[in-house]
Each structure stands twice: as C-alpha cells, then as structure tokens.
Amino acid sequence: MRAVVFDLDGTLIDSLPDIASSVNVSLARRGFAALPADAIEKMIGDGAKVLLTKAFAAHGAQMTESDLDDFVIHYTAHSADETAPYPGIVEVLGALRAAGHPLGVCTNKPEIAAREVLSLLDLEQYFDVVTGGDATPYRKPDPRHLAAAVEALRAPSAVMIGDHYNDIAAAAGLGIPAIFAAWGYGRAESPYIARTAFELPALIRALPATEG
C-alpha cells in the first residue's frame, strides 16, 4: 500500500495565527513592530530559523540565536492556542489509515515542536513517522529529508502532499508524485492538485501504480 507523507503547516494544520504571534513576540523583545499575519504567511515553509531571519530582515535587522530561542520557547508553549486541522483532515486521515496506507509527516519545523502540536491536536495517533527539520542534516526541498520519512515507512511506493514549493520539489527530486494542497500558504506547480482535503483519497487512488 502506498505511503502518504504530509507536510505540516499549511497542509495538515492552519498554524498561521500561533506562528505569527510567536514571531511578533520575538520581534517585540527587540523593540520591533509586529508584522501582519499575511506578511508572515509568505515566510513560512523553510523552518523556524529561516522564518525568523526573514521576519527580522523585514525590519532591516539580523536575527540572533537568542531571538530564535525566544520564538521556539513561546511557540512550543502556545502552538495550539488558535491552530486547528484544516476542514476534512481528520476524516481523511482516518479513511487513509482504515484503507491501510502508512502515514507520515515530513516538515521543516523542529521535530519536538511538530510532535507537540500534533499531540495537542490529537493528530499524532494517525502517523507512523514524524520527520522534523532537525531530524536529518537536510531539509526540504532537499529530497534526502523526504527520503528519510519514506524509508522509515517501509512502503513500496509513496506520495508527498504539501502546500509549498519545497514539498513538490523534494518529491520530484526523490522521483515520487506530489499532490499540491491548494488550501495552504504556498504556491507550487504539480499535475496533481487538491482544492480541499476531501479530494485527497480519490487523487491518491488515481495515481499511476508505477509512479513513486
């Protein structure tokens, strides 16, 4: 049965409100004004360090390791204040598990933070593997990051589902198909597009048996 690997932020969960809040806490501690959520949304996808780097760069400043620590501490404590699964995600995860698909998460978010928010939202139960951005020396779009998740799932084939260019590029580099989650934060091109989570099971079933 084909393994299904999901991105986290912007794919499984709408985490923008809590991410934006934690970014702005870090900025405020350095005396910088808050950034609007729609600006922070465009910075999500490459992990916490890149996110903070971009946020401070918007004020013409450089991020420090202390700023990153502030963000991680605040976000870990508040990662599910306003975050929620996207509509249909819980139902689709249950259906895919019932159908026998091994399920995994491959995210550029630090693994402890990823597992914490999945646990708080009662989603961790669906996944056999969670591969965070610090779990390997690589991060998406490097296909070796995705490869670690796919190999751990021990399935003969796999598909990546994500809302960001990094997800689609990692899948292409690994030679597996990707379904673009059009409800998320990013932009990407893929021959397979889901407008809502409810479309995923049919798209996965329709993938060519020899692809990925």
Active-site residues, by number, are 7
Coil, strand or helix at 194? strand
Residue 76 backbone dihedrals phi, psi, to 5 degrees: -60, -35
Q: E strands within 88-202?
A: 103-106, 129-131, 158-162, 178-181, 192-194
- Long-range CB pairs of 206-212, under 8 A, 24+ apart, other chains included: 207/2, 207/159, 207/177, 208/177, 209/157, 211/157, 211/176, 211/177, 212/2, 212/157, 212/158, 212/159, 212/171, 212/175, 212/176, 212/177
SS3 state at 177: coil
With CA atoms as reference, report the closest residue to 161 among 125, 121, 193, 120: 193
